[in-house]
Amino acid sequence: MSAHNPFPTCTHHCSSTDAVAKFHLRARSPRSHTPSTCRFLIRPRGKPRPTWHRPATEQACEDGMPPPTWTAPLRLALSSNAKDAHVKYVSLATVDASGGPRCRTVVFRGFLKQFWDGSGGDEGDHDEEIERCVTFVTDLRSAKVKQTKACDRAEASWYFTRTREQFRLRGSLRIVGEGDEEKWLRARTRAWKALSDKARSQFAWDTPGLPLHSRPEQQAEDLVLPDGPTPLPTFGLMVLRVERVDQLSLKQNRRWIHRNADCQEEEEDDKELNNNSGDFAAHGSWSSWEVNP
């Protein structure tokens, strides 16, 4: 005869052994117990009981409306997945001069606001404009810089494994290098200072993509980084000015489209959004819809 299990067991493909399991069913609707509505809190015997918190994106959507902005759920996803080493790795797609797609993995360096000092005083420097921009860095000799000069349209795709969320950010790409406007140079300098010495040294390597003459580690042996905060001439700050965001939650099976009023491109599905407001919300220059996942 099998031993009695004193702990509750989910009959929908999930179970708990040698641990305490507690189900948290969403109370906002009398839905049946399914894998998507099952929540576990597991703790070893004798350990304090943890506290379960509903994700803020789910709280924000309690009334069926989209989140107020796309930056709030993106920041939450970054925070919730912070323990993953790959949380800042983003796929960035550009278009080359022939119209062909080019994609690579880049490292998210932060929102532009953290590098912006706000002393420019120019029109367009307000918070909403700065907060919509995300940043990466690049070697100004790389192919993506030439591609951006030919066509500045780009899209970043971000997947968070812990929370099972995807964010696709589309907009225009700006490469900030020497000779740019002063306010952009200040942001570039701050981004340079935020890098580690190891990351800075990569901008002194030989030109990316050319035939190899010496290993990077050999080049690093004789490398002396310049003193002071001045970036190397090869260092560029890459700024994606976001115009459209496609936000998908695989855990909740929900999806939202966030679009700015100045979005340069409109997909066929976006025309349907304009004709049928559905679950619509407007926040400043942004409009948001909940759509089919």
Residue for token pair 């089919």: 292
Q: To the nearest 10°, report the CA torsion of 171, 177, 179, 180.
A: 30
- Kindly report the number of other CB atoms within 10 A of residue 189's CB atom: 17
| Length of the chain (residues) | 293
pLDDT tens per residue across span 182-227: 999 999 999 999 999 888 988 988 888 888 877 766 665 566 666 6
Q: Residue 246 contacts by C-beta under 8 Å, 6 or more apart in sequence?
A: 166, 167, 168, 170, 255, 256, 257
Residue 153 burial (10 A CB sphere; 0-12, 13-18, 19+): middle
Which of 97 and 29 is assigned the larger pLDDT?
A: 97
User: What is the identity of the amino acid at 232?
Assistant: L
Q: Residue 211 contacts by C-beta under 8 Å, 6 or more apart in sequence?
A: none
* β partners of residue 155: 93, 170
Residue 130: in which H helix or E strand, if any?
Answer: helix 127-131
Which of 288 and 250 is assigned the larger pLDDT?
A: 250
Range with lowest mean pLDDT among 61-65, 163-167, 186-190: 61-65
Residue for token pair 């990466």: 136
Range with lowest mean pLDDT among 11-15, 131-135, 267-271: 11-15
* Residue 58 in this model has a pLDDT that exceeds 50: no
How many whole angstroms separate alpha carbon 219 and alpha carbon 221?
A: 5
Range with lowest mean pLDDT among 56-65, 84-93, 99-108, 232-241: 56-65
* Residue 18 in this model has a pLDDT that exceeds 80: no
Residue 187: in which H helix or E strand, if any?
Answer: helix 182-193
Of the pLDDT bands very low, low, confident and very high (cuts 50, 70, 90), residue 146 is very high
Q: Provide mean pLDDT across the span 70-74.
A: 93
Q: Which of 66-75, 165-174, 192-201 has the highest mean pLDDT?
A: 165-174
pLDDT at 244: 94
pLDDT tens per residue across span 238-252: 999 999 999 999 999
CA end-to-end distance (rounded Å), the chain: 46
pLDDT at 139: 96
* Residue 148 in this model has a pLDDT that exceeds 90: yes
pLDDT averaged over every residue in the chain = 76
- The rounded Cα 135 to chain-centroid distance in angstroms is 10
How many whole angstroms separate alpha carbon 109 and alpha carbon 248?
A: 22
* Residue 20 in this model has a pLDDT that exceeds 60: no
